[in-house]
């Protein structure tokens, strides 16, 4: 019996890769639900190929196009944000892959957990925003989280068979993005086009900007805390420009375990969907004779202040990680719209983090209020 899967954000970078995995594992995985934000053409193509039970599309204009093309088929078509949230609540699937972008991915994660459905989580913002709420819901329903983020997948694989108490620290690797060696005094001139040009990974726009500011690595430190329970003083970041080592664990006896491979998101996606198995796959394997030298360096915190902000947020917990994450979502949006400078992103994030109204154990309602305040404050920044 194949595993029944739901894919949120199916037309984005993670979703498209997940469908490539589903396509080569047809006997193992059956696609039941798909959701997209506004890419109607790609969603229609995917629905025709995978024949899901239902699909959701958030953008109203795009919904109309999907309805006009697929209306005669036996596929239920859901509309808007409510349609997406409804799809995430359905419990007739074994696992939901959350490939949504930004803080908007949080509620769908919670809906699936509430419905008792396991979540393969690419949307790290869910955990950064609401780790506390998500873990309490998991205790209630027994649903589990499987990391899709390549670093966390690597740590998960390294931890297999180890006693958690024997692990000294987690080592998250990061490529350092496109500005690892750019002179710091030219950072204020970084253009959107330059920031979107990532050396190793081909990803969506938001995470590509987060890689350029290294906010992504910072958010991953907070994500690692929730997934594996290691606090800020037990997580290290190592710059590894080749992105061959996806992350490591350091054991108390001095042993270090690493997980390696070509930088291809299909690998962690497939592992999350087929855990605990490593099934055969048709893509390129790591070739040690052509991959070149593997190098390492310390992260430069002056160059990438977002890393320090994330460690500080993890120390404060409460609403601080959520405030940082929301601020970053909106600041990145404004940078992509060419309204603010690259260097304004960390400045705004720091200002929001330090001036928001801190709550120790926020409810979902508190997080929504915070979202409203952060949105207003970031968009008023000049």
Which residues are at the interface with Mg ion (CB under 5 A)? 149-151
Count of helix runs (H) and strand runs (E) in the chain: 15, 11
Q: How far is CA 241 from the centre of its chain?
A: 20
Beta carbon of residue 294, minimum distance to Mg ion (angstroms, whole number): 18
CB within 8 Å of 68: residues ≥ 6 apart: none
Rounded to whole angstroms, the Cα distance separating 100 from 104 reads 7
Count of Cβ atoms closer than 10 Å to residue 186 Cβ: 9
Q: Which C-beta is closer to Mg ion: that of 84 or that of 203?
A: 203
> Nearest to residue 84, comparing CAs of 45, 49, 110?
110
Beta carbon of residue 140, minimum distance to Mg ion (angstroms, whole number): 28
DSSP state of 90: -
Cα dihedral sign for 147, 153, 156, 157?
A: positive
Rounded to whole angstroms, the Cα distance separating 244 from 269 reads 17
Q: Which C-beta is closer to Mg ion: that of 169 or that of 200?
A: 200
Beta carbon of residue 352, minimum distance to Mg ion (angstroms, whole number): 23
Q: Which C-beta is closer to Mg ion: that of 177 or that of 362?
A: 177
Rounded to whole angstroms, the Cα distance separating 174 from 199 reads 12
Q: Which C-beta is closer to Mg ion: that of 150 or that of 270?
A: 150
Beta carbon of residue 120, minimum distance to Mg ion (angstroms, whole number): 14
Beta carbon of residue 149, minimum distance to Mg ion (angstroms, whole number): 4
Q: Which C-beta is closer to Mg ion: that of 45 or that of 202?
A: 202
Question: Is-contact 54 87, C-beta < 8 A?
Answer: yes
Rounded to whole angstroms, the Cα distance separating 236 from 241 reads 16
Beta carbon of residue 217, minimum distance to Mg ion (angstroms, whole number): 8
Give the nearest residue (CB) to Mg ion: 149
Query: What token pair was written down for 329?
Result: 């979502």
Beta carbon of residue 119, minimum distance to Mg ion (angstroms, whole number): 17
Q: Which C-beta is closer to Mg ion: that of 124 or that of 356?
A: 124
> Nearest to residue 309, comparing CAs of 214, 181, 178?
214
Rounded to whole angstroms, the Cα distance separating 91 from 153 reads 25
């Amino acid at each position: 019996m194949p595993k029944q899967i739901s894919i949120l954000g199916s037309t984005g970078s993670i979703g498209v890769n997940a469908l490539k995995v589903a396509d080569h594992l047809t006997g193992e995985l059956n696609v039941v639900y798909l959701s997209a934000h506004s890419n109607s053409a790609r969603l229609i193509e995917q629905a025709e190929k995978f024949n899901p039970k239902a699909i959701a599309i958030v953008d109203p204009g795009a919904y109309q196009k999907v309805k006009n093309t697929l209306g005669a088929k036996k596929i239920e078509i859901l509309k808007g944000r409510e349609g997406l949230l409804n799809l995430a609540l359905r419990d007739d699937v074994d696992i939901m892959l959350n490939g949504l972008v930004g803080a908007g991915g949080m509620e769908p994660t919670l809906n699936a957990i509430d419905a008792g459905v396991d979540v393969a989580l690419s949307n790290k913002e869910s955990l950064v925003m609401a780790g506390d709420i998500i873990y309490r819901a998991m205790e209630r329903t027994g649903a589990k989280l499987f990391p899709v983020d390549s670093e966390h997948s690597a740590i998960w694989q390294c931890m297999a068979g180890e006693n958690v108490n024997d692990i000294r620290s987690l080592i998250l690797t990061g490529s350092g993005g496109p500005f690892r060696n750019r002179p710091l005094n030219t950072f204020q001139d970084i253009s959107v086009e330059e920031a979107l040009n990532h050396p190793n990974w081909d990803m969506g726009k938001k995470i590509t900007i987060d890689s350029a500011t290294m906010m992504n690595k910072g958010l991953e430190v907070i994500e690692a805390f929730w997934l594996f329970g290691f606090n800020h003083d037990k997580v290290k970041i190592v710059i590894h420009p080749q992105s061959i080592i996806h992350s490591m664990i350091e054991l108390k006896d001095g042993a270090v375990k690493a997980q390696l491979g070509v930088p291809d998101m299909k690998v962690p996606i497939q592992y999350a969907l087929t855990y605990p198995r490593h099934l055969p796959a048709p893509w390129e394997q790591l070739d040690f004779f052509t991959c070149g030298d593997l190098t390492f360096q310390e992260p430069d915190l002056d160059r990438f202040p977002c890393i320090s902000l994330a460690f500080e947020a993890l120390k404060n917990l409460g609403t601080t990680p959520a405030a940082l994450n929301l601020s970053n979502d909106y600041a990145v949006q404004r940078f992509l719209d060419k309204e603010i400078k690259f260097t304004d992103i960390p400045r705004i994030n720091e200002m929001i983090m330090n001036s928001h109204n801190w709550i120790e154990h926020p409810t979902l309602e508190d997080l929504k209020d915070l979202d409203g305040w952060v949105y207003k404050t970031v968009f008023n920044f000049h």
